[in-house]
Structure 1
Protein backbone atom coordinates (compact mmCIF):
# COMPACT_ATOMS: atom_id res chain seq x y z
CA UNK A 1 0.00 0.00 0.00
CA UNK A 2 1.09 3.58 -0.57
CA UNK A 3 0.90 6.64 1.65
CA UNK A 4 -2.35 8.52 1.10
CA UNK A 5 -2.39 11.95 -0.51
CA UNK A 6 -5.65 13.73 0.29
CA UNK A 7 -7.69 14.98 -2.65
CA UNK A 8 -8.86 18.54 -2.97
CA UNK A 9 -11.54 19.65 -0.55
CA UNK A 10 -15.06 19.25 -1.93
CA UNK A 11 -18.17 20.98 -0.60
CA UNK A 12 -20.05 17.70 -0.23
CA UNK A 13 -17.18 16.04 1.67
CA UNK A 14 -15.39 18.56 3.88
CA UNK A 15 -11.89 17.79 5.12
CA UNK A 16 -10.92 19.24 8.48
CA UNK A 17 -8.31 18.90 11.20
CA UNK A 18 -8.68 17.42 14.68
CA UNK A 19 -5.94 17.71 17.29
CA UNK A 20 -5.32 14.25 18.72
CA UNK A 21 -3.90 14.27 22.24
CA UNK A 22 -3.31 10.52 21.99
CA UNK A 23 -1.11 11.01 18.91
CA UNK A 24 0.13 14.49 19.86
CA UNK A 25 -0.57 15.83 16.36
CA UNK A 26 -3.28 17.05 14.00
CA UNK A 27 -5.13 14.40 12.01
CA UNK A 28 -7.43 14.66 8.97
CA UNK A 29 -11.18 14.24 9.48
CA UNK A 30 -13.62 13.82 6.59
CA UNK A 31 -17.00 13.74 8.38
CA UNK A 32 -18.73 14.43 11.68
CA UNK A 33 -19.20 10.67 12.11
CA UNK A 34 -15.46 10.15 11.72
CA UNK A 35 -14.83 12.95 14.24
CA UNK A 36 -17.16 11.30 16.77
CA UNK A 37 -15.27 8.04 16.27
CA UNK A 38 -11.96 9.83 16.93
CA UNK A 39 -13.30 11.17 20.23
CA UNK A 40 -14.19 7.57 21.10
CA UNK A 41 -10.63 6.44 20.28
CA UNK A 42 -9.11 9.20 22.40
CA UNK A 43 -10.86 7.78 25.48
CA UNK A 44 -10.48 4.06 24.67
CA UNK A 45 -7.68 2.72 26.88
CA UNK A 46 -7.16 -0.25 24.54
CA UNK A 47 -6.00 2.14 21.80
CA UNK A 48 -2.33 3.19 21.78
CA UNK A 49 -2.43 5.31 18.59
CA UNK A 50 -4.33 5.85 15.35
CA UNK A 51 -3.84 7.38 11.92
CA UNK A 52 -6.53 8.80 9.65
CA UNK A 53 -6.49 8.13 5.89
CA UNK A 54 -3.30 6.11 6.42
CA UNK A 55 -2.73 4.54 3.00
CA UNK A 56 -4.40 3.62 -0.27
CA UNK A 57 -4.47 0.51 -2.42
CA UNK A 58 -5.80 -0.42 -5.84
CA UNK A 59 -8.19 -3.31 -5.26
CA UNK A 60 -10.13 -5.33 -7.86
CA UNK A 61 -13.21 -3.32 -6.81
CA UNK A 62 -11.42 0.03 -7.23
CA UNK A 63 -9.11 2.30 -5.28
CA UNK A 64 -9.66 2.10 -1.54
CA UNK A 65 -8.46 4.12 1.44
CA UNK A 66 -9.47 2.91 4.89
CA UNK A 67 -10.44 5.92 7.02
CA UNK A 68 -8.67 5.07 10.29
CA UNK A 69 -5.86 2.68 11.22
CA UNK A 70 -6.12 1.89 14.95
CA UNK A 71 -3.16 0.43 16.83
CA UNK A 72 -4.08 -1.43 20.01
CA UNK A 73 -2.10 -1.83 23.23
CA UNK A 74 -1.84 -5.59 22.61
CA UNK A 75 0.19 -4.95 19.44
CA UNK A 76 -2.56 -5.68 16.90
CA UNK A 77 -4.06 -3.13 14.52
CA UNK A 78 -7.40 -2.75 12.73
CA UNK A 79 -8.72 -0.52 9.95
CA UNK A 80 -12.04 1.21 10.65
CA UNK A 81 -14.34 2.89 8.15
CA UNK A 82 -17.07 5.16 9.58
CA UNK A 83 -20.19 5.12 7.37
CA UNK A 84 -23.76 6.34 7.97
CA UNK A 85 -25.99 3.45 8.99
CA UNK A 86 -28.49 4.12 6.18
CA UNK A 87 -25.85 3.28 3.54
CA UNK A 88 -24.21 0.14 4.91
CA UNK A 89 -27.09 -2.25 4.19
CA UNK A 90 -27.41 -1.73 0.46
CA UNK A 91 -26.37 -4.74 -1.60
CA UNK A 92 -24.10 -2.61 -3.78
CA UNK A 93 -22.25 -1.19 -0.77
CA UNK A 94 -21.92 -4.58 0.93
CA UNK A 95 -20.54 -6.25 -2.22
CA UNK A 96 -18.00 -3.50 -2.96
CA UNK A 97 -16.94 -3.06 0.66
CA UNK A 98 -16.56 -6.81 1.25
CA UNK A 99 -14.37 -7.20 -1.83
CA UNK A 100 -12.18 -4.23 -0.89
CA UNK A 101 -11.94 -5.27 2.77
CA UNK A 102 -10.92 -8.83 1.90
CA UNK A 103 -8.25 -7.55 -0.47
CA UNK A 104 -6.84 -5.14 2.15
CA UNK A 105 -6.85 -7.87 4.81
CA UNK A 106 -4.93 -10.24 2.51
CA UNK A 107 -2.50 -7.45 1.61
CA UNK A 108 -1.82 -6.11 5.12
CA UNK A 109 -2.98 -8.82 7.52
CA UNK A 110 -5.26 -6.26 9.19
CA UNK A 111 -9.05 -6.63 9.32
CA UNK A 112 -11.33 -3.82 8.13
CA UNK A 113 -14.40 -2.94 10.21
CA UNK A 114 -17.33 -0.60 9.61
CA UNK A 115 -18.42 1.87 12.30
CA UNK A 116 -21.82 3.58 12.11
CA UNK A 117 -23.54 6.13 14.32
CA UNK A 118 -25.40 3.18 15.90
CA UNK A 119 -22.06 2.01 17.37
CA UNK A 120 -21.39 5.38 19.00
CA UNK A 121 -23.73 6.41 21.82
CA UNK A 122 -24.42 10.13 21.22
CA UNK A 123 -24.57 10.87 24.96
CA UNK A 124 -21.22 9.16 25.53
CA UNK A 125 -19.71 11.11 22.62
CA UNK A 126 -21.13 14.33 24.11
CA UNK A 127 -19.49 13.50 27.44
CA UNK A 128 -16.20 12.78 25.67
CA UNK A 129 -16.39 16.15 23.91
CA UNK A 130 -17.01 17.86 27.26
CA UNK A 131 -14.10 16.08 28.96
CA UNK A 132 -11.65 16.07 26.05
CA UNK A 133 -9.96 19.43 26.83
CA UNK A 134 -9.18 18.14 30.34
CA UNK A 135 -7.07 15.27 28.98
CA UNK A 136 -4.35 17.91 28.50
CA UNK A 137 -4.02 18.30 32.27
CA UNK A 138 -0.85 16.95 33.85
CA UNK A 139 -1.38 14.02 36.27
CA UNK A 140 0.36 15.96 39.07
CA UNK A 141 -2.53 18.44 38.96
CA UNK A 142 -5.17 15.75 38.57
CA UNK A 143 -4.11 13.89 41.73
CA UNK A 144 -4.84 16.77 44.09
CA UNK A 145 -8.37 15.54 44.84
CA UNK A 146 -7.68 11.79 44.91
CA UNK A 147 -6.99 11.32 48.65
CA UNK A 148 -10.67 11.77 49.52
CA UNK A 149 -10.87 8.82 51.92
CA UNK A 150 -14.28 8.28 53.54
CA UNK A 151 -15.51 11.64 52.33
CA UNK A 152 -15.72 10.49 48.71
CA UNK A 153 -18.46 12.57 47.03
CA UNK A 154 -21.44 10.73 45.56
CA UNK A 155 -22.20 13.16 42.71
CA UNK A 156 -20.16 15.27 40.33
CA UNK A 157 -21.70 18.40 41.86
CA UNK A 158 -20.50 17.29 45.32
CA UNK A 159 -17.01 16.71 43.90
CA UNK A 160 -16.94 20.20 42.42
CA UNK A 161 -18.12 21.74 45.72
CA UNK A 162 -15.53 19.79 47.68
CA UNK A 163 -12.80 20.92 45.28
CA UNK A 164 -13.90 24.54 45.62
CA UNK A 165 -14.01 24.31 49.43
CA UNK A 166 -10.34 23.30 49.63
CA UNK A 167 -9.12 25.75 47.00
CA UNK A 168 -8.72 23.32 44.11
CA UNK A 169 -9.06 24.95 40.69
CA UNK A 170 -12.42 24.29 38.93
CA UNK A 171 -10.94 22.21 36.08
CA UNK A 172 -9.55 19.46 38.35
CA UNK A 173 -12.86 17.56 38.90
CA UNK A 174 -13.31 17.40 35.10
CA UNK A 175 -9.73 16.18 34.71
CA UNK A 176 -10.33 13.43 37.29
CA UNK A 177 -13.20 12.11 35.17
CA UNK A 178 -11.36 12.61 31.87
CA UNK A 179 -8.41 10.52 33.11
CA UNK A 180 -10.74 7.86 34.64
CA UNK A 181 -9.38 8.44 38.16
CA UNK A 182 -13.04 8.65 39.19
CA UNK A 183 -15.66 6.67 37.29
CA UNK A 184 -19.18 7.52 36.17
CA UNK A 185 -21.80 6.12 33.81
CA UNK A 186 -20.82 7.80 30.55
CA UNK A 187 -24.05 6.71 28.84
CA UNK A 188 -25.84 9.38 30.92
CA UNK A 189 -25.23 13.08 30.21
CA UNK A 190 -22.63 14.49 32.61
CA UNK A 191 -24.15 16.99 35.04
CA UNK A 192 -23.87 17.96 38.70
CA UNK A 193 -26.28 15.13 39.58
CA UNK A 194 -24.13 12.46 37.86
CA UNK A 195 -23.36 9.61 40.28
CA UNK A 196 -19.65 8.90 40.78
CA UNK A 197 -17.84 5.59 41.30
CA UNK A 198 -14.64 5.43 43.35
Structure 2
Protein backbone atom coordinates (compact mmCIF):
# COMPACT_ATOMS: atom_id res chain seq x y z
CA UNK A 1 0.00 0.00 0.00
CA UNK A 2 1.05 3.61 -0.50
CA UNK A 3 -0.19 7.10 0.39
CA UNK A 4 -0.66 10.16 -1.79
CA UNK A 5 0.09 13.45 -0.04
CA UNK A 6 -2.26 16.29 -0.98
CA UNK A 7 -0.55 18.59 1.49
CA UNK A 8 2.53 18.66 -0.70
CA UNK A 9 2.36 21.90 -2.76
CA UNK A 10 1.70 21.49 -6.48
CA UNK A 11 1.31 24.13 -9.15
CA UNK A 12 -0.85 21.79 -11.20
CA UNK A 13 -3.52 20.92 -8.64
CA UNK A 14 -6.16 22.84 -6.74
CA UNK A 15 -6.69 21.49 -3.25
CA UNK A 16 -10.09 21.95 -1.58
CA UNK A 17 -10.15 22.02 2.22
CA UNK A 18 -13.22 20.83 4.13
CA UNK A 19 -13.26 21.61 7.86
CA UNK A 20 -14.70 18.52 9.55
CA UNK A 21 -15.92 18.58 13.15
CA UNK A 22 -16.70 14.86 12.89
CA UNK A 23 -13.05 14.05 12.20
CA UNK A 24 -11.54 16.93 14.16
CA UNK A 25 -9.38 17.92 11.20
CA UNK A 26 -9.35 19.44 7.74
CA UNK A 27 -10.12 17.03 4.89
CA UNK A 28 -8.07 17.69 1.76
CA UNK A 29 -9.84 17.07 -1.56
CA UNK A 30 -8.67 17.05 -5.17
CA UNK A 31 -11.90 18.31 -6.73
CA UNK A 32 -14.97 20.37 -5.93
CA UNK A 33 -17.08 17.22 -6.38
CA UNK A 34 -15.08 15.40 -3.69
CA UNK A 35 -15.45 18.50 -1.51
CA UNK A 36 -19.24 18.41 -1.92
CA UNK A 37 -19.22 14.69 -1.08
CA UNK A 38 -17.75 15.63 2.30
CA UNK A 39 -21.00 17.36 3.28
CA UNK A 40 -22.89 14.07 2.89
CA UNK A 41 -20.32 12.09 4.87
CA UNK A 42 -20.05 14.74 7.59
CA UNK A 43 -23.77 14.66 8.35
CA UNK A 44 -24.58 10.99 7.74
CA UNK A 45 -25.70 9.25 10.94
CA UNK A 46 -24.14 5.98 9.76
CA UNK A 47 -20.66 7.47 9.31
CA UNK A 48 -18.33 7.64 12.32
CA UNK A 49 -15.34 9.06 10.46
CA UNK A 50 -13.91 9.47 6.98
CA UNK A 51 -10.63 10.40 5.35
CA UNK A 52 -9.59 11.44 1.87
CA UNK A 53 -6.81 9.84 -0.17
CA UNK A 54 -6.31 6.87 2.20
CA UNK A 55 -3.74 4.11 1.72
CA UNK A 56 -3.86 3.00 -1.90
CA UNK A 57 -3.51 -0.51 -3.23
CA UNK A 58 -2.35 -2.40 -6.31
CA UNK A 59 -4.71 -4.05 -8.77
CA UNK A 60 -4.19 -5.86 -12.06
CA UNK A 61 -5.71 -4.79 -15.36
CA UNK A 62 -4.86 -6.39 -18.72
CA UNK A 63 -1.95 -8.23 -17.16
CA UNK A 64 -0.33 -5.10 -15.74
CA UNK A 65 -0.03 -3.89 -12.15
CA UNK A 66 -1.61 -0.50 -11.45
CA UNK A 67 -1.68 1.67 -8.33
CA UNK A 68 -4.99 3.06 -7.12
CA UNK A 69 -5.94 5.45 -4.34
CA UNK A 70 -9.66 5.68 -3.46
CA UNK A 71 -11.06 9.15 -2.92
CA UNK A 72 -12.37 8.31 0.56
CA UNK A 73 -12.16 5.68 3.27
CA UNK A 74 -15.35 5.66 5.36
CA UNK A 75 -15.82 4.03 8.78
CA UNK A 76 -19.38 3.11 9.79
CA UNK A 77 -21.07 2.79 13.18
CA UNK A 78 -21.30 -0.98 12.83
CA UNK A 79 -17.50 -1.24 12.68
CA UNK A 80 -17.26 -1.91 8.95
CA UNK A 81 -15.57 0.35 6.43
CA UNK A 82 -15.71 1.00 2.71
CA UNK A 83 -13.97 2.98 -0.02
CA UNK A 84 -15.52 5.61 -2.29
CA UNK A 85 -14.55 6.68 -5.78
CA UNK A 86 -16.09 10.02 -6.76
CA UNK A 87 -16.66 10.55 -10.48
CA UNK A 88 -18.78 12.72 -12.79
CA UNK A 89 -21.49 10.48 -14.22
CA UNK A 90 -20.41 11.35 -17.77
CA UNK A 91 -17.06 9.65 -17.18
CA UNK A 92 -18.49 6.32 -16.02
CA UNK A 93 -20.04 4.97 -19.22
CA UNK A 94 -17.01 3.69 -21.12
CA UNK A 95 -16.33 -0.04 -21.12
CA UNK A 96 -12.73 0.65 -20.08
CA UNK A 97 -13.80 2.56 -16.97
CA UNK A 98 -16.36 -0.10 -16.03
CA UNK A 99 -13.87 -2.95 -16.31
CA UNK A 100 -11.09 -1.08 -14.47
CA UNK A 101 -13.52 -0.18 -11.69
CA UNK A 102 -14.63 -3.81 -11.48
CA UNK A 103 -10.99 -4.84 -11.03
CA UNK A 104 -10.55 -2.22 -8.29
CA UNK A 105 -13.66 -3.57 -6.55
CA UNK A 106 -12.34 -7.13 -6.60
CA UNK A 107 -9.10 -6.06 -4.90
CA UNK A 108 -11.01 -3.94 -2.35
CA UNK A 109 -13.11 -7.00 -1.48
CA UNK A 110 -9.93 -8.99 -0.93
CA UNK A 111 -8.88 -6.28 1.55
CA UNK A 112 -12.16 -6.72 3.44
CA UNK A 113 -13.95 -3.65 2.11
CA UNK A 114 -16.34 -2.64 -0.63
CA UNK A 115 -15.60 0.08 -3.19
CA UNK A 116 -18.57 2.28 -4.07
CA UNK A 117 -18.94 4.60 -7.04
CA UNK A 118 -20.59 7.93 -6.18
CA UNK A 119 -21.41 10.39 -8.96
CA UNK A 120 -22.36 14.04 -9.24
CA UNK A 121 -25.99 12.98 -9.75
CA UNK A 122 -26.02 11.60 -6.20
CA UNK A 123 -23.84 14.25 -4.59
CA UNK A 124 -25.28 17.36 -6.19
CA UNK A 125 -28.96 16.91 -5.50
CA UNK A 126 -29.44 20.67 -5.32
CA UNK A 127 -31.90 21.04 -2.44
CA UNK A 128 -30.31 18.35 -0.25
CA UNK A 129 -26.77 19.63 -0.81
CA UNK A 130 -27.76 23.25 -0.19
CA UNK A 131 -29.42 22.23 3.09
CA UNK A 132 -26.26 20.37 4.14
CA UNK A 133 -24.21 23.46 3.34
CA UNK A 134 -26.50 25.52 5.58
CA UNK A 135 -26.11 22.99 8.39
CA UNK A 136 -22.34 23.15 7.98
CA UNK A 137 -22.33 26.95 7.95
CA UNK A 138 -24.11 27.15 11.29
CA UNK A 139 -22.67 24.04 12.95
CA UNK A 140 -19.72 25.89 14.45
CA UNK A 141 -21.04 29.43 14.17
CA UNK A 142 -23.47 29.48 17.09
CA UNK A 143 -22.43 28.79 20.66
CA UNK A 144 -24.70 27.08 23.15
CA UNK A 145 -27.17 29.67 24.41
CA UNK A 146 -30.34 29.72 26.47
CA UNK A 147 -32.33 30.08 23.23
CA UNK A 148 -30.67 26.97 21.81
CA UNK A 149 -31.55 24.96 24.91
CA UNK A 150 -35.11 26.33 24.91
CA UNK A 151 -35.57 25.19 21.32
CA UNK A 152 -34.10 21.79 22.17
CA UNK A 153 -36.47 21.48 25.13
CA UNK A 154 -39.52 22.37 23.00
CA UNK A 155 -38.56 19.87 20.28
CA UNK A 156 -37.83 17.08 22.76
CA UNK A 157 -41.28 17.49 24.30
CA UNK A 158 -43.01 16.96 20.94
CA UNK A 159 -43.20 14.13 18.44
CA UNK A 160 -42.43 16.76 15.82
CA UNK A 161 -42.89 20.51 15.59
CA UNK A 162 -42.75 23.11 12.83
CA UNK A 163 -40.13 25.85 12.81
CA UNK A 164 -42.96 28.40 12.66
CA UNK A 165 -44.52 26.94 15.82
CA UNK A 166 -41.17 27.13 17.62
CA UNK A 167 -40.92 30.77 16.58
CA UNK A 168 -44.34 31.63 17.98
CA UNK A 169 -43.97 29.53 21.14
CA UNK A 170 -40.58 30.99 22.08
CA UNK A 171 -41.23 34.48 20.68
CA UNK A 172 -38.17 34.32 18.44
CA UNK A 173 -37.77 35.35 14.81
CA UNK A 174 -38.01 32.69 12.09
CA UNK A 175 -34.44 33.40 11.00
CA UNK A 176 -33.06 32.98 14.51
CA UNK A 177 -35.00 29.75 15.07
CA UNK A 178 -33.85 28.35 11.73
CA UNK A 179 -30.21 29.13 12.54
CA UNK A 180 -30.50 27.44 15.93
CA UNK A 181 -32.26 24.40 14.45
CA UNK A 182 -29.46 24.10 11.89
CA UNK A 183 -26.99 24.14 14.76
CA UNK A 184 -28.90 21.30 16.49
CA UNK A 185 -29.00 19.30 13.24
CA UNK A 186 -25.23 19.73 12.96
CA UNK A 187 -24.84 18.45 16.51
CA UNK A 188 -26.93 15.39 15.62
CA UNK A 189 -29.57 16.22 18.22
CA UNK A 190 -32.51 16.86 15.88
CA UNK A 191 -33.47 15.92 12.34
CA UNK A 192 -35.68 17.05 9.48
CA UNK A 193 -36.28 16.15 5.84
CA UNK A 194 -33.30 17.67 4.04
CA UNK A 195 -34.71 16.79 0.62
CA UNK A 196 -37.10 19.76 0.78
CA UNK A 197 -36.39 23.46 1.28
CA UNK A 198 -36.14 24.43 4.93
CA UNK A 199 -38.72 27.05 5.93
CA UNK A 200 -41.23 27.83 8.67
CA UNK A 201 -43.29 24.75 7.72
CA UNK A 202 -40.40 22.30 8.13
CA UNK A 203 -41.05 19.61 10.74
CA UNK A 204 -38.30 19.07 13.31
CA UNK A 205 -37.98 16.05 15.61
CA UNK A 206 -35.47 14.50 17.99
CA UNK A 207 -32.84 12.44 16.20
Q: CA deviation at 1:16?
A: 1.6
Aligned to 1:18: 18
Aligned to 1:29: 29
| Aligned pairs, number | 194
Q: CA RMSD in A?
A: 2.9
1:161–1:98 Cα change, 3 Å:
same
Unmatched tracts of structure 2, length 5 or more: none
Aligned to 1:184: 192
Q: CA deviation at 1:125?
A: 1.3
SS in 2 for 1:144: helix
1:190–1:97 Cα change, 3 Å:
same
Q: CA deviation at 1:54?
A: 0.7
Asked whether the 8 Å contact 1:159–1:173 carries over to 2, the reply is: no
Unmatched tracts of structure 1, length 5 or more: none
Asked whether the 8 Å contact 1:160–1:173 carries over to 2, the reply is: no
Match of 2:163 among 156, 166, 173: 156
SS in 2 for 1:41: helix
**What TM-score, normalized by structure 1, do the two folds share?**
0.82
Aligned to 1:41: 41
Greater Cα shift, 142-151 or 75-84? 142-151
Q: CA deviation at 1:140?
A: 7.6
Aligned to 2:113: 110
Distance 1:98 1:157 in 2: 49
SS in 1 for 2:70: coil
Distance 2:158 2:105 in 1: 52
**What TM-score, normalized by structure 2, do the two folds share?**
0.79
Q: CA deviation at 1:174?
A: 2.4
Distance 1:184 1:17 in 2: 27
SS in 1 for 2:56: strand
Q: CA deviation at 1:147?
A: 2.4
